[in-house]
Structure formats: structure tokens, C-alpha cells
Structure 1
Amino acid sequence: MTRRGVLAALAAPVLGSAWFAHARGRNPYYEGPVTDHFDGLRFFNPDHRWSKTPVEAFRALTLAEKEPWPLTWPSPFADRPPARVEGAGLRLAAIGHATHLIQTAGLNLLTDPVWSERASPVGFAGPKRANPPGIAFDDLPKIDVVLLSHNHYDHMDLETLTRLHLRDAPRVVTPLGNDAILKARDPRIRAEAFDWGDRVELSDKVSATLTPAYHWSARGVTDRRKALWAAFAIDAGSAGRIYFAGDTGLAGGAIFTEARERHGPFRLAILPIGAYEPRWFMKDQHMNPADAVTAFRLLGAEHAVGCHWGVFRLTAEGVEAPAGALAEALAAEGVADERFRALKPGEVWEAPVA
């Protein structure tokens, strides 16, 4: 990869959709009919179309004042999960950033698994972990299904997905186009691609429906928005329903209201609370903690856990800022702290016994 390509790919998790020149070209990942969110080449959010100029991107990523981060910020927690959680039990372990182990109804699910040291296309540069994964890879139980929300490097880690395939051969359920990226890495990876609104049976008791998120996609210079991004609404039967946002902005909040109406009520929502400063630049694609509390209310969720913070430095806020801002936002809205927790790697949330 050229130096230009490396820099572009490293910027992919945080750059706006107009950072690179629009190249018509072809879509190397997906071919399909035009829809209300696909123009024949690129995907888009029909109710939240946004862009940022190269000058704005430079200001946000290079010139913005940044709060300091420590080189390491280890979590005091480490989890050794059970082999399975059966029946109506629901256990979630935070592994770090957007990676979680969800255990319910006898099924082991991983979201956006990243065990690599960097969220980057190369091993020598790019955002580096401030703390290790909350579950050591070798301590993972057998993984049945991976839910992969989109292709940014802090969410789609090909090295980790290859390791998982070699160990457990899980199904990888992902939005349109991302299967091509995975199979280009290893054709044996069991990648299955779906559109917004598609319901996928994960077992005889658990299903997941892909729902819209306010985000975008890119792995390099010319492929922005050529693969789809999504959130997931998980129906685990008697264990309840779970919402995993992946990565998203709030915008007008319509996607959360729609998710509640179509797929709720939710027992648990997994919502990003980090990578949000400078706000003028990041708000279209990333929620801040106050936005996440609004999304929590719109979803009508009983409980929530906050993720996407404290692991990889992507933006300008400090390492502890999201957790502090979440506490302030909850207090301002009169929501009890225990209903929305900012989990550190290795922390566990278990559904209260009814």
C-alpha cells in the first residue's frame, strides 16, 4: 500500500464522506439494484445525507486541540466467561471498543471483534490499544456467530476474523458488500451479507434484523460508502431483545424510534459514547454521551451499556471524558446510573433476575 493509501485508510474511521474526491469507477464489493439507500454505486442514509470538505477534515483531525491520552490505560477488570448461558439468561462482557461477547439462549455472539494491537491496515502505525482486550482470545468460549456492523478498521479486523474462523468457523453476519472484503482475505470465512430490514435466523431461538445506522464505510481511498453499514436488533425469545448500534450518529433520532416500533421493546441497548470531538465535525457520524442518552430514551430500552471509548484514540476528547459526560447526561435526564453503564474492558453486565 502506498503512503497515501496508508494515511487514507488510517483516517477511515473518522473522516467525513467527502474527504476523498468522488471517483465513479465501479463497486468492487457489491452489485445490485438501485434502492432508497443505494444509488447503484454507493450506499447512503436517505434521511441524513451529509458531507465534510477536505479543509474541514484537516481542521478536525490535525488542528483541533486534543486532550492528552496515556500511553496505557489498563482496565482493572478481566473476564473468564462461561461456556454457554442458557434459557432466559443474558450476559454481556465488554471486550473493548465495539467488541462484546453476548451469551444468551445457548448462543455465543461476538460484535465487531478486534483483538489486534492497532485499528489500522498496517502494524506499525495507526490507533493503538490503550488497554488489552477484556477477555483473552484463548479464554473465549466457542463463538457461534459474529455480528459485523461495517468495514472501518476499528470494527472490521481481518486478522481477528481469520483467527476466529480457524478456531471456531463462526457465521459472520454483515451488511451488503462486506462479505466480499472478508472472502478476499480468506474464501473460507462464512460471511453472509444482508440488507437493512433483513431478518437472519441465528439459531432456533435467536434471530437478528439489520437496521439503519447513521454512519458510512471505507477501507481506502476510493471505496467510501461502497459497502453498507448497519445496526442489529437481536431477538432472543424469552431472554428479550437487544439492540447493537455498531457506530452511528444521532441526527434526528428517527432510526431509534423506528427500531423501537418495529423490533422493541429492548431489554438491553449497546450504544457508542466515544469518538465525538470536535463536535462540529463528528456529530453526523458519532454520538456523544448526551446523544446516546437520547437514543436510549428513543429506543425505550430497559438498560444500556456504553462502548466505543477508552481503547483506541480516534478523536480529540480525553480517555475518561465519555464516562464522565455520560454520568452528567444521565443526571440531567433523571436516569439512574445503573440503567446505563459505561463498561471498561472485562466488565460484565448481566440481566437482572425478574
Structure 2
Amino acid sequence: MKRRTFLGLGALLGIGACATREATMGNRYYSGPVSDHFDGTQFFNPGGTAPKGFRDLLRWQFEGGKADWPDDVGITRARPEARVADLRVTMVGHATVLIQAGGLNILTDPVWSRRASPLRFAGPARATAPGVAFGDLPPIDAVLLSHNHYDHLDIATLRRLHAAHGMPVLTPLGNDTILRDAIDGIDARASDWGGVLEAGDLAVRLLPCHHWSARGTGDRSHALWASFAIETPAGRILHVGDTGYDEGRPYAAAAAHGPYRLAILPIGAYAPRWFMKDQHQNPEEAVAGFRACGARHALAHHWGTFQLTNEARDEPPGRLRKALAQADMSADSFRAVPPGEVWDVPA
């Protein structure tokens, strides 16, 4: 069976659509000094473009052009080893990746819930099951949380992870408040762009990317978004949760902290371009970013699990292959793999 995109409340509040720039009484999650990307109430992209407004959202929702997606895509789940000496990544789904590096186990933007939404009965539903059953996870040493949209920050999953693993969550400013308010006793550690967060043998530098944040209609850009330069015993990794290409500036900033053995880059949720360009890069831009950041290998994410935008489910990896060929780059250097697939990244 197939379904047509239905962007429910979860999408409208926090996935790629937005409300008007509402008047606020102050920031809900963060209080700190004004900077080149914080005006005292809201974070912003310096020199970048603000998200589209409510009128543009309505235009997108009513103009049509949304592809049909299958209701359920079968996968083969992985059962990870407890520890891995070198560098291994396992695709769980959407922006959730299990990174096993030099004996460390790291999860990015973990979502095991059925919907990317504040509601259980509405909002984008999974087209694929998680590539690793929750009970089959190895011990988790840290979670990297890039920003607070519902397809990246899932309180139900983080509550389960906290109960099972008690790991620290490393995240940009403001998201730690959201976590502490929702989950008693969680170890949430936050920093600004340029800051470094540590957890045991893991060191994570937060880097700028071009995005925004919201959990509802009154907290737009009250929490920061970031990419991560991850220092592990098995090499340096760049993880980008969500970003617009922004003339390549996020990748120029990342390149200064390379070289990277692996980059984990988003390639989906980009159509229509007139609406999504400022917040979600497309596969061609991801290839340009891969080349610019100086990584030796790349893993594609943010496609094929939740239907957030107009493109067909299998379009992003197809366009990725074409973009790599046009750039005269090996298809094996930048992989788009299904949930449950395991990749031992070459040295």
C-alpha cells in the first residue's frame, strides 16, 4: 500500500514548516549574552536566511506535488556487537546512527518512536522500522543531539535511553533545558558553537550549521542547532544533523577542524526547493559539502524513514549516485544505506 504525504501537527510545529515570527516574552530555554548568532531572545544564522513564514507554509501545503510513499518498507535488523575496536556505523533510520569507534558507542539524534510528532495519532509516521531493535542496543556512552525538531529530539526515546544507559546527552544551548524539564536526572550537557563537550574518551566540538529550531508555536529559535566534530580513538567524524547548504559556509567551518575519516551528512527532505533550500540541503549540495569538508568517506542520512517533504522515498539516493558520478567521485566513498545496514569504514 502507498500513502500520500500528510504533514500533521508535528511537521507544522517542528520539522520543516514554521509559524509566523511570534512576539515572545523571553527565551524559554536559554538566558545568555548577545552574540553574533543570538539576539538576546532568539538564535539566528549570521549572514544567512530566516525560515519561511506561515503564508509560504500554506502555499506549500496546497500547491500539490507530493509523491506517494509506501506504508511499510521491509528491512533486516542488525544486532550490534557490544564494542568495536575500529570504526563501524549502523544505520538505524532517518538521523539516528549508531557510531562504534575505538570502543565507544555513540547515538546521533535517536528516534525509536513511530511518529516524528508531539502527538501519537498524527504527524509523519515511520515507513521503516528502526534498523536496530531498542533492546539490542549495545551500552551507549553518549548521545549527540543536534537540535530540537521532533524528527531529531524524541523525548520518549531519550527517556528510555536514560533509563537503560544513563548516558550523557551532548547538545547545543537550550536543548539541555528541554531535556531536564522532561526527564528527571538526565545528564544533559550543552555548549555554544565553538565549544567542546567531553564524555570520557569522547570530545565533541559544536560547529555552526544553517538551520532553526522549534517545538511549538511560541519557542521558535529559542534553542540552538549545531553540527559536531567528533574526536574518537578511531578517528575524527563530522556529523551534520540538519543544514541548508548556505553557500558552503557550514562546510568551510567544519574543514577547519578536520581532516575527517567519516562525514555523516543529510541528503533528504529538500523538496520543494523554494521552501526547503534554506534549511535542508539536497544530494548535490551534500556531495559539494563532502568534498569541501575534507572527509575521506561519507554516510548519508535524513532520507527514507519519515516522509517530511515532497520528494519520492528513493529519490535522494538516486540523485546522490548521479551527483557523485558527475563529480567523478566513487559511489563507495559516499553511501546511502537502508536501516539495519552496517558499514566498517575503511581506515
TM-score normalized by structure 1? 0.93
CA distance in 2, matches of 1:63, 1:13: 20
Correspondence 1:309 to 2:303: yes
User: How many residues are matched?
Assistant: 341
Q: Which runs of 5+ in 1 are unaligned?
A: 1-5
Contact 1:149 1:174 in 2 (8 A): yes
Deviations 1:24-64 (A, max 9, x none): 31111000010111000000110213242322111223323
Q: Distance in 2 between matches of 1:305 and 1:313?
A: 20
1:127 and 2:124 aligned: yes
For 2:128, the aligned partner's letter is: N
Mapped pair 1:212 → 2:208: yes
Determine the C-alpha separation between the residues in 1 that align with 2:211 and 2:57: 16
What SS does the corresponding residue of 2:160 show, helix, strand or coil?
A: helix
Structure 1 segment 49-60 matched on structure 2, within 5 A: 49-60=49-60
How far is the alpha carbon of 1:193 from its aligned partner?
1.1
**In 1, distance between residues paired with 2:91 and 2:305?**
11
Q: Deviations over 1:124-162 (max 9, x none)?
A: 000000010000000000111000000000000000000
- Map Cα deviations across residues 188-240 of structure 1 (whole Å, 9 max, x no partner): 11111111111122223x31101011100000001010000011000114x11
Query: Counterpart of 2:325 in 1: which secondary structure?
Result: helix
Gaps of 5+ in 2: 1-6
Output the CA distance in 2 between the equivalents of 1:51 and 1:176: 19
Q: How many angstroms apart in 2 are the aligned matches of 1:12 and 1:245?
A: 21
Q: Do residues 201 (structure 1) and 198 (structure 2) align? A: yes
1:169 to 166, 174, 181: 166
What is the TM-score of this pair, normalised by structure 2? 0.95
Counterpart of 2:81 in structure 1 is: 82
Matched, 1:343 2:343: no
CA distance in 1, matches of 2:285, 2:64: 21
Change (3 A) 1:7 1:314: closer
Superposition misfits of 4+ residues, deviation over 6 angstroms = none
Contact 1:9 1:221 in 2 (8 A): no
Q: Is the 8 A contact 1:182 1:191 kept in 2?
A: yes
> 1:11 — aligned with what?
12
**Whole-Å Cα distance in 2 between the matches of residues 118 and 61 of structure 1?**
19
**Does the Cα contact within 8 Å between 1:108 and 1:145 map onto a contact in 2?**
yes
CA contact (8 A) 2:143 2:168 kept: yes
Tell me the amino acid that sits aligned with residue 217 of structure 2. V
% identical equivalent positions: 52
Once residues 211 and 187 of structure 1 are traced to their aligned partners in structure 2, the CA distance between those partners, rounded to angstroms, is 28
**Which amino acid is 2:148 matched to?**
N
Task: Report the CA distance shift for 1:8/1:134 in structure 2 as closer, same or farther (over 3 A).
Answer: closer
Which amino acid letter does the alignment assign opposite residue 220 of structure 1? G
One-letter code aligned to 2:116: A
Q: Equivalent residue for 1:247? A: 242
Aligned equivalents of 1:179, 1:62: Cα separation in 2: 36
